[in-house]
Each structure stands twice: as structure tokens, then as C-alpha cells.
Amino acid sequence: MSRKGFFTDSTVCIGCKACEVACKQWNQLPDDGFHFTGMSYDQTGDLGCSTWRHVAFVERPVPLPGHDTGVGDFSWLMVSDVCKHCQRAGCLEACPTGAIVRTGFDTVYVQPDICNGCGYCVTACPFGVIDRRPDDGRAWKCTLCYDRLGEGMTPACAKACPTESIAYGNLDVLHERAENRVRQLHEQGIISAYLYGKDAANQPGTGGLNAFFLLVDKPEVYNLPPDPVVPTMKAREAWGAVAVGALGMAAVAVGAVLFGRRGTP
């Protein structure tokens, strides 16, 4: 099977939240309650165990280049966030039970019947995507509608998106489409447009994302890490630091013994 994924173009997202609703409806996810966050029109807040798609609203006191909104120095940035299905997935590498697997579509899937709720995957995800439910402690996240893919269907969120901000398909095709879109925006004067997480060259800390994005501002503005790295990539560096620390402690201990001997009458 070919590699599947999402290309999310934030420049055509209208913030309708149809993707959020479709995701919850298809996956039978519970609601998150009704809370006023004060974050513009974003009442979801973030991704979580019961929210696998999250539409962010970012209000900025600057206009978007190339777009005359008629409201002066103000612009909205909107983007539908989701699990990235990383090529090098920190959650998968950290899972001790084999509950998290890579599917034949090259997506990352959590098997709820095997998950023991240890939470290692939660701390290993550099995007803070995966989350545990409070009732049983098991971890949950976007499955990229694995059950729909097996039937040749489009994931619910992409199917419901009215502007095709969320595009689903073969990654090679999506990469080409995304690069063409960036060139088009640059020609229109939106030179800030770029691709986030397209491949390993673009994001070496994760090996690239199977759900990548087109953004027009820094990742941090969208609540995305600028340089995400899976913890295991820093394992050698961490063990090296431990070794240096151990050698330093050993040297201090040896020095103390020798100094003690010299000082003995």
C-alpha cells in the first residue's frame, strides 16, 4: 500500500470546524463540555483524548500580506491541527506493550485493547498530541480514520472540509500539490508561506510528518514546536552526559581519597 497522509493548507481554512464535528461524529467521541476559553472563536482549546481535530484561531495585530481584508492592521490565522503521524514517532518508540503500531498505510495507530495506560507515549510526543482518558487511563489520538481507509474511504475530517483545506491522499502527490501551492502564494506576494514538516530534510527531528502543514507565520504562532525532536534521538547525547557526569564524580572521589592520604600524618 502507498503512504497516506494529510496536507493542511492554513491559508484556505475558514474556521468552520466541520472537521472537528465530522471527526467526533464518525469516531463517536464524547463532547468536551461547554467552556468559554476567551481565545477568539476557539472553544476547544487543544487536542486531547476526546478531540482529535482542533481548529485554532489566532488573532494578530498585523495584516496578512497579499490579502486586503478591509479591517486594517488585523488578521486571523486559522488551521486545523491533528496528530502528525510522524515518520519517526516518539509515541510508538516509547510504547512498552506494542499497543502503538505503524499501519500498512504508514500511519500511527493506538490499539486500545492493548494499551495499559502507562503514559510513556504522552511524554514522548514532541507535539503534545496523544492524551489519556481520565476514566481508564488509556491513550487516544487521531487514527487517520483507519477503519475508513481500509474501505477505500476518505477520512471524515477531509471529507467534510468545504474548502479542501484538509487534503488527504498519497504523500507523494500531496507533496507535489503543497509545493505548487507555496509557489502560487509566493507569486501572489505571500512570501511568508512555507511547508512545515513535509519531510526529513524539512524536519529531521521527526523524520518528516505524514500530516504536514502550509503556514504563513512562525510555528509557535500556531502552537506548533519550531524544532520538534523525538526523545530517542537525544538518547546518545543524554547517555554521553551521564557518562561525563559519572567520570567527573569518579575523579572527585579519587582526588578526595588521594588528598586524604597525603594529609594523613
As a whole number of angstroms, the distance between CA 216 and CA 14 comes to 15
Grid cell of 148 as nine digits: 475508513
As a whole number of angstroms, the distance between CA 184 and CA 97 comes to 46
Q: Which residues are annotated as a binding site?
A: 13, 16, 19, 23, 83, 86, 91, 95, 115, 118, 121, 125, 142, 145, 157, 161
As a whole number of angstroms, the distance between CA 72 and CA 69 comes to 7
List all residues 6 or more positions away from 225 whose beta carbon is below 8 Å from its beta carbon.
126, 127, 219
Q: Do 6 and 144 touch, CB atoms closer than 8 A?
A: yes
Query: DSSP letter at 160?
Result: H
Q: Do 145 and 25 touch, CB atoms closer than 8 A?
A: no
- For 11, 39, 136, 205, the CA distances from 226, given in Å and listed in that order, are 19, 22, 33, 10
Closest to 78 (Cα-Cα) out of 132, 10, 144: 10
As a whole number of angstroms, the distance between CA 94 and CA 144 comes to 20
Q: Which residues are annotated as a binding site for [4Fe-4S] cluster?
A: 13, 16, 19, 23, 83, 86, 91, 95, 115, 118, 121, 125, 142, 145, 157, 161
Closest to 233 (Cα-Cα) out of 85, 94, 128, 106: 94
* Strand, helix or coil for residue 193: coil
Query: DSSP letter at 154?
Result: P
Grid cell of 12 as nine digits: 484556505
